[in-house]
């Protein structure tokens, strides 16, 4: 590992990174294949987080690499406004086949943050189209993460992501979060307690009146805040309340989409269909930036009115449906299908849960949470130094050749869906070793 201070690192202001700490002891990745990265000093590192929740099929997949190369040589760019290219329509159709029934209209973006902004704008515009223009309020959830643009930060509920940026969007409120360690600590799978927390939406309806509320957005599994699993019946109750009051329900599946919970989407895993689903990350296996917003057909069709030559929805991006991203997406879906990866997490869930919950009783562990191939291990914070203990575990694991992710004092795991049982054991043992020696 490089340890000397390198002035060539200074120009790059790194995102969501402790820049000063990193540049004193850089962790540079130079190659990836399958379940592993390689560092600049030749060490092999087991990827326990699928890059950043996105490399679901593992690294360096030949089919995807080849598709990107061939597309770059054939059609490097096509304007998405008033023009199209065949792979955009093909990919949208393939994605619609995977989605929950009825969510078969797809709007392409370039990231999860852009998918969230797109979904919020669709919800606001649709309410106006149907004569409900007073519905401008957006409801998020405490501890929610919906990207880093102003809309996503506003409906998001992670204080560290919000506190530097003023009042954000007006007309936003938040549901209570679902984290309840007093009743649900060390639950395997969905917690038994907490469905009633969805009734907090009724409180907000009583406060603001339903006639002012356009949409509610939640993550089925809250990832970046520390892997919070939905209580049994919670999402169903939220759906019922939204239906009762004419509120659009948006699921942010940027993390859970494309097999993370054992089905293509968490909506299918938990048996609740929202009106809109936001995705990104796994749609291209992380190879080319892309996002996709799945929209209920009835919402889409309500936009298709007026003179046919006019733009129905004034929104989009220069790189929407970029040819390279579409090629990567099609090859990614082929890879998922050929290897059964979109449901493999269900087959491995039991073993993954057993391994994770085997850490119970080790130093500092106060809760463990899991669903599919995603897990969270919550550690007690050091007094006056929150987040440092988990970060020390991260550094220890990296020194052992295992990459994990931390958020606050929670270790978050989301390995590629190709992980083997032996690699699950290696991943968890590295964490156990770190926990035993980190103060």
Per-10-residue mean pLDDT, the chain, length 439: 75 96 96 98 98 98 98 98 98 98 98 98 98 98 97 96 93 97 98 98 98 98 97 98 98 98 98 98 98 98 96 98 98 98 98 98 98 98 96 98 97 98 98 96
- Burial string for 216-240 (b: 16+ CB within 10 Å, else e) reads bbbbbbbbbbbbbbbbbbbbebbbe
Q: How far is CA 54 from CA 68, 92, 110, 142, 283, in A?
A: 17, 19, 13, 24, 8
Distance CA 237, CA 130 (A): 25
**Contact by Cβ (8 Å): 151, 169:** yes
Burial class (CB in 10 A: 0-12, 13-18, 19+), 132: middle
**Contact by Cβ (8 Å): 179, 230:** no
Burial class (CB in 10 A: 0-12, 13-18, 19+), 305: exposed
Q: Which CATH architecture has domain 7-56+341-437?
A: Alpha-Beta Complex (3.90)
pLDDT computed for residue 275 by the predictor:
98
CATH fold of 65-339 reads: 3.40.640
Chain-centroid distance, C-alpha 274: 16
**Contact by Cβ (8 Å): 100, 363:** no
pLDDT computed for residue 2 by the predictor:
45
pLDDT computed for residue 1 by the predictor:
44
Chain-centroid distance, C-alpha 8: 32
Q: Which residues pair with 413 in a beta bridge?
A: 375
Domain boundaries, the chain: 7-56+341-437, 65-339
Phi, then psi, of 289 in degrees rounded to 5: -55, 130
Chain-centroid distance, C-alpha 263: 15
Spatial strand order in the sheet of 405-407:
365-371, 374-379, 410-413, 405-407
pLDDT computed for residue 434 by the predictor:
98
- The alpha carbon dihedral of 278, 216, 51, 339 has a sign of negative
């Amino acid at each position: 590992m490089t340890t000397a201070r390198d002035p060539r690192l200074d120009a790059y202001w790194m995102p969501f990174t402790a820049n000063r700490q990193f540049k004193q002891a850089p962790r540079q990745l130079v190659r990836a294949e399958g379940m592993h990265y390689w560092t600049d000093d030749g060490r092999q590192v087991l990827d326990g987080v699928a890059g950043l929740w996105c490399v679901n099929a593992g690294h360096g997949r030949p089919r995807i690499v080849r598709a990107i190369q061939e597309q770059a040589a054939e059609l490097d760019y096509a304007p998405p406004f008033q023009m199209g290219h065949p792979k955009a329509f093909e990919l949208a159709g393939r994605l619609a086949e995977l989605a929950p029934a009825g969510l078969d209209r797809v709007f392409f973006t370039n990231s999860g943050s852009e998918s969230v902004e797109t979904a919020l704008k669709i919800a606001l515009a649709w309410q106006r189209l149907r004569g409900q223009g007073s519905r401008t309020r957006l409801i998020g959830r405490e501890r929610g993460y919906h990207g880093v643009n102003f809309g996503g930060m506003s409906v998001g509920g992670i204080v560290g992501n919000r506190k530097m940026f003023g009042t954000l969007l007006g007309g936003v409120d938040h549901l209570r979060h679902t984290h309840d360690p007093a009743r649900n600590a060390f639950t395997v799978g969905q917690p038994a307690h907490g469905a009633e927390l969805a009734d907090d939406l009724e409180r907000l309806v009583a406060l603001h009146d339903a006639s002012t509320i356009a949409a509610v957005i939640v993550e089925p599994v809250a990832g970046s805040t520390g892997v919070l699993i939905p209580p049994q019946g919670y999402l169903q109750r939220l759906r019922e309340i939204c239906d009762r009051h004419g509120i659009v329900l948006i699921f942010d599946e940027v993390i859970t989409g494309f097999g993370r919970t054992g089905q293509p989407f968490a909506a299918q895993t938990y048996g609740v269909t929202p009106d809109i689903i936001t995705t990104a990350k796994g749609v291209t296996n992380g190879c080319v930036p892309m996002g996709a917003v799945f929209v209920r057909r009835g919402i889409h069709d309500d936009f298709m009115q007026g003179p046919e030559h006019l733009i129905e929805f004034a929104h989009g991006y220069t790189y929407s449906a970029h040819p390279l991203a579409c090629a990567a997406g099609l090859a990614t879906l082929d890879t998922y299908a050929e290897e059964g990866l979109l449901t493999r997490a269900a087959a491995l869930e039991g073993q993954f849960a057993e391994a994770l919950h085997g850490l119970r009783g080790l130093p500092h562990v106060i809760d463990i949470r899991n669903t599919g191939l995603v897990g969270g291990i919550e550690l007690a914070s050091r007094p006056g130094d929150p987040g440092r203990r988990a970060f020390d575990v991260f550094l220890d694991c990296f020194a052992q050749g295992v990459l994990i992710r931390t958020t606050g004092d929670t270790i978050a795991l989301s390995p590629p869906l190709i992980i083997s049982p032996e690699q699950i054991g290696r991943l968890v043992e590295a964490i156990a070793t770190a926990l035993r020696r980190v103060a």
